[in-house]
Chains A and B, each alone.
Chain A
Amino acid sequence: MTTLLSIKNLSVSFRIDRDTQYEAVRNISFDIPEKSTVALVGESGSGKSVTSLALMGLLPKENSKTSPDSRVMYKGKNLLTISSAEMQKIRGAEISMIFQEPMSSLNPVFTVGFQLGETLEKHANVSAAEARKRALALLEEVGIPEPTTSINKYPFQMSGGQQQRVMIAMAIACEPELLIADEPTTALDVTIQKQILELLAGLQRKRNMSVLFITHDLAVVGDIADHVIVMRHGQIREQGSVRQVFTQPTDPYTRALLACRPRVDTRPKVLPVIDDFINAENVAHASNTNQSGTQLFNPLANVETRTRGIKPEDSVILDVQGLSKSFYTKSGFFSQKEFKAVNDVSFKLHKGKTLGLVGESGSGKTTVGLTLMRLHEATAGKAFLEGKDILAMSEAEFKQYKRRIQIIFQNPYASLNPRFTVGQILQEPMQLHSIGNGGQERAGLAFELLARVGLPEASFYKYPHEFSGGQRQRIAIARCLTMKPDILICDESVSALDVSVQAQVLNLLQELQDEYGMSYLFISHDLAVVKYISDEVMVMSNGEMVEMANSDDIYARPQHPYTKKLLSSIPTGMAAMA
């Protein structure tokens, strides 16, 4: 196999301020062979996106620097040193790129046909009529339904998956030799993700191009990649064929990544986290017992598994009956259009148990959570907490119940007030609900909770921006714990986190449930996570409940076709290899 593009000793550093440099990528080397798919895997901050920007010549010139011995060799040329005019010719025509957010990558004021045609006219030098013909063919190729009508659509008239298809069509329009896909499926639903992955794999084979697939999700990689590179903190931890990386990972970090993601087939009591692996490795090295290299820490050995499920004798804490929520948009001068976000959903939440709520975007799962919190007003339905309908009571009456039902939001970066110190964030609910006597006692409680969620004491005086995503989510959890709620709604609470951090937060949530006996309503689009944490799973689609059963049952014997479709979309790469 001949090499298409070769990266040698690439180092990229960013200037943060006058005398601080941040080394985003440190001395990495790898090759992209012709006609193959190379996956670059790493968590946030691993330098994977910086690498891709460097080889597209898209690094910001003002504050970034590549080291003098860095090479990106492509057809005998070093892409880091050629002129920007030369790079311009290569970029788009020979190397093209697709991004994570199709919505923000497409210009909203032009039709997709226009944007596709523009690319073709610019790079392939064809007439407008010819460009339109080729645009139609491309849309057909990437699987856009009814290309002849879709070509005149604006980006906002298409779904996220279709937009990403258009982006792919634009990227392959000039028949590039290398397609860089930077997290192309991260913003998409699991069923759409599967389709896009299949499309990319098919195009790669059909067009004999190479694909550099950048992702944080190792599971996705198994399906499509030939070669896997694992990065962490700007360095390559491991690289090799996909089979080797998945079945015989040599690097503890790779093994940790593989192990700490919840899996559908087993359910360990505590998820392994990255530190377990790295520490085990260090211990092994320190005591020098790892001579043969066979005594590797095995995450699946000797792990206590947890059984889940609702038994008939479990008591019910929240009984939701016929919950509906409609949103209205003005469609005419006098008329309004009703959109049923949640339509007649009923379920029971059992004490000390977790109900997983699964669905794709737009299925209404988040609306259920927000409506139960009364952050949205329910259109119809009842929710009984200890015999009282919390949806019908007055605002004043509900205030007593607010502390009993709490929510953790998806985005830990947005859910903490950036102008409050962590101490203020934790003490505020105590002040509002008169928990604790005076500031001294509240501060004491806050310190205890910080320790409980595994944050250092100094956090009390710090601002949220000084913490990583996982730490912020811990702060959000601690804020809820101040009120000792009975019910905790976790709205995609671990979705924005890196795999390794996700495992830590899931472990924390599980520990807290065991300790305080809280009931969780766990909302997520990630089927594996829901399977891991839930006793019972409810599947939603288009605002309606599709299926509800004990979690093991629903994964083993899905009844509804939609559930079956969802389950079949879970990336299987890892499971197939293991």
Chain B
Amino acid sequence: MSTTTPSPTRTIDPRALAAAERSPGLWQLAWKRLLRDKIAVLAMFIVIGFILLSLLSFFGVVAKDWSKEVGINYAPPVFAPNAEGGGLDAPVTVTAPSQTGDATALPFTFTTGVKDPLEAEMKEIYAQLGRGGASAPAAAAQGYVSTIVDPLAEDLAAIRKELGRPDPTGVSSATALGSGYKGSIVDPLAEDVVAINKELGRAGAMAGAMAGAMAVVTTAEKKIVRSPTLAFGGDKWGRDVLAKVIKGSETSILVGFAAAIVATLIGTVLGALAGYFGGWVDDVLNWFYSIFSAIPYLLLILAIAAVVNKKGVITIVLILGLTGWASIFRLVRAEYMKHKTREYVQAATAIGASNWRKMFVHIFPNVSHVALVQLSLHVVLFIKSEVILSFLGFGVGVDTVSWGSMLNEAQSELILGKWWQLAAATLFMAVLVTAFSLFTDALRDALDPKLK
């Protein structure tokens, strides 16, 4: 190697040259093998996509408003708008503001299909009194009239003035008050009722206020506009299923990874102790393990969930992590038992390495692939476990969403024929779990090529 450097002026340190021929380690080789597997790479991209999605969701970039009711109840998905949807018999119709005019400044009028429940009675009263309420027929036809005043109207007016722009509408914006839209809903019959009250000599309690045609003032938010369809449909309350399922990925992936890391840590450390030391340490840990594995897994989880009785992501992570280490423990223990008698460990003893050093510096790198594959396997397992837990109602609380709680909701929705929440949660879960399982298989093959 040093012969290839004919440098008369500068002698190159042969050791530096030797360093250039550094050999790839286990992980580098495994990584290369992994990249050669097309399915593994595809699966890895999908998994990475999911992780990025849940990270974006975690930092509030996407699906922040998953709990907002943005659509109508049971809004159908956009790709199936005719699916049996809409929870209201009379859908909200919106008279769209004119595109050309400066509509924001206008206190524009909604015509809602809400019928006055008193209308029939009023008609009777009209007939009885022989009155021909002037506004009545028109009002009845027109329905309620609500005015919404844009709070920015005043600012806009000021800006117009500043810029010297003419006010195309000439409507005074003085009505814009406070923050938020201000809407007034005026009962078209109010005037009549006031007249009737007067006629009959009654002093209606509310009459005074109603006469002012300012009967109810509601501070409605922008969201009052509910979309009739949503990307992946809406749930019972009109929440966006797509946002929910993304938020649900965040929960599931967070729980899956965190719980798998907890379980792998516990399983590996205990397995290392039991396998390396053997004797009474092994006995004690094995008893402990046997007790854990003697109780049906789901029962154990449900029991702990019931005892802890505090819903939340951290609780689930702890439940799954604390119950799921058993199989990792057995595997790592067996690996340590196998490796501790190997000559390289004896050689380490011979040169004076401590127990700790032998366990974690010498043996651990040789069994780490087992731990990694187990970690990967348990991520999938725990994602599924979390779904089951949440489905059964022991999972995340109502303030969080997970695929499991979505499936739980979908259970009752399905009877009504609202399939999209189920479809969305199932699709996301199936894609992630399949991709992760394929990735795990490829990872195992890459780390232990002899298995293939």
Residues of A within 8 A of B (CB): 370, 373, 375, 399, 402-403, 406-407, 409-411, 414-421, 428-429, 432-433, 443, 447, 456-463, 466, 476, 479, 483
Contact present for A414 and B342 (CB under 8 Å):
yes
Q: Which residues of A contact B343 (CB under 8 A)?
A: 409-411, 414-415
A-B CB contact pairs (8 Å), 26 listed: A403-B352, A406-B350, A409-B343, A411-B343, A417-B362, A417-B365, A419-B25, A419-B26, A419-B366, A420-B365, A421-B25, A428-B348, A429-B351, A433-B352, A456-B1, A457-B14, A457-B15, A457-B17, A457-B18, A460-B15, A461-B19, A462-B21, A463-B25, A466-B23, A476-B347, A479-B347
Question: What's the nearest-Cβ distance from chain B to residue A467, in Å?
Answer: 11
Asked if B351 and A415 make an inter-chain contact with CB atoms under 8 angstroms apart, the answer reads no
User: How far apart are B33's CB and chain A's nearest CB, in angstroms?
Assistant: 10
B135 at the interface (CB under 8 A from A): no
Which of B1, B350, B353 sits near A373, CB closer than 8 Å?
B350
Contact partners of B351 in chain A: CB under 8 A: 402-403, 406, 428-429, 432-433, 479, 483
Q: Is B346 part of the contact surface with A, judged by Cβ < 8 Å?
A: yes
Q: Which residues of B contact A463 (CB under 8 A)?
A: 23, 25
- Which A residue sits closest to B16, measured CB to CB? A457
Q: Give Cα A460–Cα B25 distance, bound, in whole angstroms.
A: 13
Q: What is the bound-complex CA distance between A407 and B352, given in angstroms? A: 12
B120 to chain A, nearest CB (A): 84
Tell me the nearest residue of chain A to B2, going by C-beta. Answer: A457
Number of interface residues of B (CB under 8 A): 26
Chain A residue with minimal CB distance to B21? A458
Do residues A407 and B350 form an inter-chain contact, with CB atoms below 8 A? yes
A415-B343, A466-B23 known; A458 vs B352 contact (CB < 8 Å): no
Contact across chains for B349 and A375 when beta carbons are under 8 A apart: yes
Contacts of B1 in A (CB 8 A): 456, 458
Question: Does B165 lie at the interface of the complex (its beta carbon under 8 Å from any beta carbon of A)?
Answer: no
Pairwise interchain contact B346-A461, C-beta atoms closer than 8 A: no
Query: How far apart are the CA atoms of A516 and B344 in the complex, in Å?
Result: 25
Indicate if B22 sits at the interface (CB-CB under 8 A): yes
B23 touches A417 (CB 8 A): no
Give Cα distance in the complex from A402 to B346, angstroms: 13
A-B pairs, top 8 by smallest CB distance, nearest first, are A419-B365, A457-B18, A415-B343, A429-B351, A461-B22, A414-B343, A458-B18, A402-B352
**Cβ distance B136 to chain A, nearest Cβ, rounded Å:** 88
Known contacts A373-B350, A457-B17, A460-B15, then 9 further A-B pairs from the complex at CB < 8 Å, ordered by chain A residue: A370-B346, A407-B350, A409-B346, A417-B362, A417-B366, A420-B365, A456-B18, A461-B23, A463-B25
- Please judge, given known A-B contacts A407-B347, A415-B343, whether A461 and B352 are in contact too, CB under 8 Å: no
Whether B352 and A432, one on each chain, are in contact in the complex, defined by CB atoms closer than 8 angstroms, is yes
**B339 shortest CB reach to chain A, Å:** 10
**Which residue in chain B gives the minimum CB-CB distance to A17?**
B36
Question: Chain B, 323-362, contact with A by CB distance < 8 Å: what is the 0/1 string?
Answer: 0000000000000000000111011111111000100001
For A459, the chain B residues whose CB sits under 8 A away are: 18
Chain A residues near B346 (CB-CB < 8 A): 370, 375, 407, 409, 415
A409 in complex: contacting residue of B15, B26, B347, B352, CB < 8 Å: B347
Please name the residue on chain B nearest to A399 by beta carbon: B352
Distance (Å) between the CB of A463 and the closest chain B CB? 5
**A406 cross-chain contacts in B, Cβ below 8 A:** 350-351
| B366 / chain A contacts, CB cutoff of 8 Å | 417-419
Q: How far is the CA of A403 from the CA of B21 in the complex (A)?
A: 31
Given known A-B contacts A457-B15, A458-B21, A417 and B344 have beta carbons under 8 A apart? yes
Query: In chain B, residues 45-97, which have Cβ atoms closer than 8 Å to a Cβ of chain A?
Result: none
- Chain B residues within 8 Å of A476, by CB: 347
* Known contacts A456-B18, A461-B19; A416 and B344 CB within 8 A of each other: yes
Given known pairs A458-B1, A479-B347, the reply for A432 and B353 (CB within 8 Å) is: yes
Chain A nearest Cβ from B362, distance in angstroms: 6
Please measure, in the bound complex, the distance between the C-alpha atom of A399 and the C-alpha atom of B357, giving whole angstroms: 15
> Which chain B residue shows the least CB distance to A415?
B343
Bound Cα distance from A411 to B19, whole angstroms: 28
From B23, B346, B350, name the one whose CB has the most chain A CB atoms within 10 angstroms. B350
- Measured CB to CB, the nearest residue on chain A to B369 is A419
Contact between chains at B348 and A417 (CB < 8 Å): yes
Which of B22, B343, B353, B366 has most A Cβ within 10 Å? Answer: B343
**B1-31 contacts to A (CB < 8 Å):** 1, 14-15, 17-19, 21-23, 25-26
B340 to chain A minimum Cβ distance, whole angstroms, is: 12
CA distance A414 to B345 in the complex (A): 9
Most buried by A among B19, B23, B347, B365: B347
CB contacts (< 8 Å) of B21 on chain A: these are: 458, 461-462
The docked-state distance in angstroms from the alpha carbon of A414 to that of B339 is: 10
Assembled-state Cα–Cα distance A464/B22 (Å): 13
Q: How far is the CA of A302 from the CA of B362 in the complex (A)?
A: 48
| Residues of chain A within 8 A of B349, CB atoms compared | 375
B4, chain A: closest CB distance, angstroms: 13
Chain B residues with Cβ under 8 A from A456's Cβ?
1, 18
- Nearest A residue (CB) for B33: A17
Between A407, A447, A466, the greatest number of chain B beta carbons within 10 A of the residue's beta carbon is seen for: A407
Distance A37 CA – B22 CA, assembled complex (angstroms): 48
C-alpha spacing A416/B29, complex, angstroms: 19
Chain B 301-330 interface 0/1 with A at a Cβ cutoff of 8 Å (1 = within):
000000000000000000000000000000
Which of B26, B348, B351, B353 gathers most chain A CB within 10 Å? B351
Q: Would you give the 0/1 interface string for B409-425, flagging 1 where the beta carbon is closer than 8 Å to chain A?
A: 00000000000000000
* Contacts known (A457-B15, A457-B18); A415 close to B23, Cβ less than 8 A: no
Distance in Å: Cβ of B440 to nearest Cβ of chain A: 22
Which residues of A sit under 8 angstroms from B347, Cβ to Cβ? Answer: 407, 409, 415-417, 476, 479
B22 contacts across to A, CB distance below 8 A? 461
Q: Which residues of the partner chain B approach A428 to less than 8 Å between Cβ atoms?
A: 348, 351, 353
In the complex formed, the residue of A with least CB distance to B14 is A457
A388 vs B351: C-alpha distance in the bound complex, in angstroms?
Answer: 20
Would you call A429 and B352 a contact (CB within 8 A)?
yes
Interface flags, B277-305, vs A, CB<8A=1, else 0: 00000000000000000000000000000
**Could you tell me the distance in whole angstroms from the C-beta of B129 to the nearest C-beta in chain A?**
98
B358-388 interface with A by 8 A CB criterion: 362, 365-366
Residues of chain A with a CB closer than 8 A to B17's CB = 457-458
Measured CB to CB, the closest approach of chain B to A15, in angstroms, equals 14
A415 to B348, CA, bound (A): 9
Q: How far is B347's CA from A411's CA once the two chains are assembled, in angstroms?
A: 11
Question: How many whole Å from B76's CB to the nearest CB in chain A?
Answer: 51
For residue A459, which residue of chain B has the nearest CB? B18
Q: A411-B343, A415-B344, A466-B23 are in contact. Are A461 and B350 (CB under 8 A)?
A: no
Alpha-carbon gap, A483 to B350, bound state (A): 11
Residue of B nearest to A450 (CB): B18
A18 to chain B: closest residue by CB: B36
In the bound complex, CA of A181 to CA of B323 (Å) = 54
**B26: A residues at CB distance < 8 A:** 418-419
| A416 CA to B348 CA, complexed, in Å | 9
Which residues from A are CB-within-8-Å of B342? 414
Q: Which residues of B contact A429 (CB under 8 A)?
A: 351-352
Counting chain B CB atoms within 10 Å of each CB, the highest count among A411, A415, A419, A483 belongs to A419
Distance from B338 Cβ to chain A, minimum over Cβ atoms (Å) = 12
Residue in B closest to A482 when the chains form the complex, CB atoms:
B351
Residue of A nearest to B365 (CB): A419
